[in-house]
Amino acid sequence: MILSAVLFYSRIGNFTNFGLIFPRAIIVILLVLGVGLLLKAKFNPHYSEIFAMEERSKMILVAVIGLAWVLLLNRIGFAVTSFFALSLAIFVLEEERSLKVLVKDFLIGGVEVAFFYIIFSRLLLVPLPQGILF
d(CA 12, CA 4): 12
With 70 as the cut, is the pLDDT of residue 53 above it?
Answer: no
pLDDT in tens, 56-84: 888 899 999 999 999 999 899 999 999 99
pLDDT above 70: percentage of residues in the chain = 94
Look at residue 52 in the predicted model and tell me its pLDDT: 63
CA nearest neighbour of 119 among 93, 89, 75, 82:
82
d(CA 128, CA 78): 6
Q: Which residues, in sequence order, are CB contacts of 11 under 8 Å at separation 6+? A: none
Least confident interval from 15-19, 30-34, 66-70, 109-113: 15-19
Look at residue 55 in the predicted model and tell me its pLDDT: 79
The answer to whether the beta carbons of residues 36 and 93 sit under 8 Å apart is no
Single pTM value for the model: 0.63
**DSSP assignment letter at 125:** -
Total number of residues shown for the chain: 134
Q: 51 pLDDT band (50/70/90 cuts)? A: low
The answer to whether the beta carbons of residues 50 and 105 sit under 8 Å apart is no
d(CA 121, CA 114): 10
Kindly report the average pLDDT of the chain as a whole number: 87
